[in-house]
Chain A
Amino acid sequence: MNQQASDGIRRQAAEGYVTAMVGDQLFGLALTQVRDVFIPKGICRVPLAPPSVAGLLSLRGRVVTAIDLRRRLGLPLRGEGEPSVALGIERGAEIYGLIADRIGNVLRPSAESFEPTPINLTSRWSEVCAGLYRLDQGVMAVLDVESLLDAEKLREAA
């Protein structure tokens, strides 16, 4: 890891991560990236959109583009009535809602437990993973939002 990246990780680790589960994987988003956490409701499907785009919904007067992380990661889809939660992130003037299964705690792991993305991760995960932390309760993947929302990769992730 170069110095700049490790400073970034140190800062993120100190500020903390909002964690959530998707499938059986714990993942985290830098606390400062997350705008709100909400239950996705009233999603308007968008015909012809990339499959990972669950649709649009309104959150306090703003339009949120909802991304289904299960689809984005090629995991089995959520059944009818199974709970879901969305993490709202702001990107430029747009808000995206990343739909996961269950929200977790805010974690402040020690920067020393950070590791770059290992090569044995499935390709879908490695595409959207900026590295991971080895914690007592398992591994937490750090999501790389830019890569996750890359329009071209979204279209490919059918």
Chain B
Amino acid sequence: MTTVAVLELGTRLFGLLVDDVLRTEEIVVKPKASVLRQLSVFSGNTILGDGSVIMIIDPPALAHLAGVDDIRRDSGAVLAETQTRPEEKETVPLLLFRAGSRSRKAVPLALVARLEEIPASEFEACEEGYVLRYRDSLMPVLFMDGVEKRPGDDLQPVLVFSEDGRSVGLAIDEIVDVVEEKFSMEIHSRTPGVLGACLVGGEVVEVVDISHYVGEGLGQRILMKESDVARAQKVLLVDDSQFFRNMLAPLLSANGYDVTLAGSGHEALELKEEGWRFDVIVSDLEMPELDGIGFAERIKSDPHWAEIPLVALSSHTSPRLIARTRAAGFTHYVGKFDRQKLMDALEACCSRWEAAA
């Protein structure tokens, strides 16, 4: 007897001859190691319950090998060709999980440094909450609203976020999946810790505002206030840190801005040469090669971009640095975790821009 796994891709059905069907498993597809990135047949790998590792076959890539290319890909499918040029990538990998309620929550996977499952007995209570001995240091662990600490040695899933060598753990109930999804916020939230809601595979998921938790965990409590800015003003965000780009981009789009990202001052200047126009530019000050001040000077010397208001982002605040940024042409100066001040600055810039136009 022959066993066939029937695969449905878009509107087509395929049969995959297999020796045996073992079982179904709920898994998280972990990304391929960089040395295996060329293998488009696999979308990633996962660890099964028994500790063994398996590769996950990407059915659209199989169909492509079979010469079938007219499949309308499911939104959840990994688009191999969109991965080749990150700047053209339209979808972002989202980690889906549950915490507190049955509804699914999402966070951009790129923000998550690690997914861990830790025996709940290892969380140690202290005055500020829970901490965990993690890689030779203490890591604060925050429990998302409604998440209960598991009893005894039961494994608790923890999302680990890291920046500048500091880590924060966010305890959740269950990791559901990783999907590639076009990230478009359908509803903007007024609840602290929630950016809004978006559709993933036809289901509504809540997009979590990691900066709310991470900022808190890192001892920089973030003041959250809903913003009523809702114009599609074009914002260029220049930051060499993927973490901050990933953190700020959803925040800005959740507040109604049309965000373009650049990973360096040079990348942003290329956009200038290509004739892009923006309503406001938000730039990190501390960047390798061309720093924020040098970048501002280059912008101010080009009449096409000279009038665009500039907002400086920095993790340092010294009166001298602030004076230097003002002299270089920045109109606002905002701390990196101060999202309310950033929103206020953007609003001020955009309204000034409108009045001038």
Which of A46, A55, A96 has the most chain B CB atoms closer than 10 A to its own CB?
A46
Residue-wise interface mask of B (117-154) relative to A, using a CB-CB cutoff of 8 A (1 in contact, 0 not)? 10000000000000000000000000000000000000
Asked if A42 is an interface residue, CB under 8 A from chain B, the answer is yes
Decide: B38 and A56 in contact? CB cutoff 8 A.
no
Which residues of chain A come closer than 8 Å to B39, judged between CB atoms? Answer: 46, 48-49
Given contacts A58-B47, A93-B113, contact A63 B53 (CB under 8 A): yes
Interface residues of A in 38-68 (CB under 8 A from B): 42, 44, 46-50, 53, 55-58, 61, 63, 65, 67
Known A63-B30, A63-B45: A56·B55 in contact at CB below 8 Å: yes
Q: CB-nearest residue of chain B relative to A149?
A: B35
Contact A58 to B51, CB < 8 A, known contacts A48-B39, A151-B38:
yes
A154 at the interface (CB under 8 A from B): yes
Query: Is B41 an interface residue, CB under 8 A from the partner?
Result: yes
A143 to chain B, nearest CB (A): 16
Q: Which residues of A contact B45 (CB under 8 A)?
A: 44, 56, 63
Which chain A positions have C-beta within 8 A of B55?
Answer: 44, 46-47, 56
B32-50 near A? 1/0 per residue, CB < 8 Å:
0111111101100111000
User: Could you say which of A44, A58, A151 contacts B37, with CB atoms under 8 Å apart?
Assistant: A151
Does A24 make an interface contact (CB < 8 A)?
no
CB of A61 within 8 A of CB of B35, answer no
Range for the number of chain A residues in contact with chain B? 20 to 34
Closest CB in chain B relative to A88 CB, distance in Å: 13
When distances are taken between beta carbons in the complex, the residues of chain A under 8 Å from B117 are: 61
The answer to the question of B52 belonging to the interface, with a C-beta cut-off of 8 Å to chain A, is yes
Contacting residue for B52 out of A44, A47, A154, CB 8 A: A44
Contacting B at CB under 8 A, from A123-155, are 149, 151, 154-155
A39 to B124, CA, bound (A): 32
Which residues does chain A contribute within 8 Å of B41, judged by CB atoms?
A: 47-48
The answer on a CB contact under 8 Å between B33 and A44 is no
**A56 vs B54: C-alpha distance when bound (angstroms):** 8
B53, A42: Cβ atoms closer than 8 Å: yes
Contact B53–A57 (Cβ < 8 Å): yes
**How far is A57 from B47 in the complex, measured between Cα atoms in Å?**
9
A155 in contact with B38 given A44-B54, A46-B55 (CB within 8 Å): yes
In chain B between 31 and 89, which residues have their CB closer than 8 angstroms to a CB of chain A? 33-39, 41-42, 45-47, 51-55
Question: Any chain A CB within 8 A of the CB of B116?
Answer: yes
Write the residues of chain B forming the contact surface with A, with a CB cutoff of 8 angstroms. 30, 33-39, 41-42, 45-47, 51-55, 113-114, 116-117
A selection of 16 A-B contacts at a CB cut-off of 8 Å is A42-B51, A44-B55, A46-B55, A47-B41, A48-B39, A49-B39, A56-B45, A58-B52, A58-B53, A61-B116, A63-B46, A63-B47, A65-B36, A96-B33, A149-B35, A151-B35
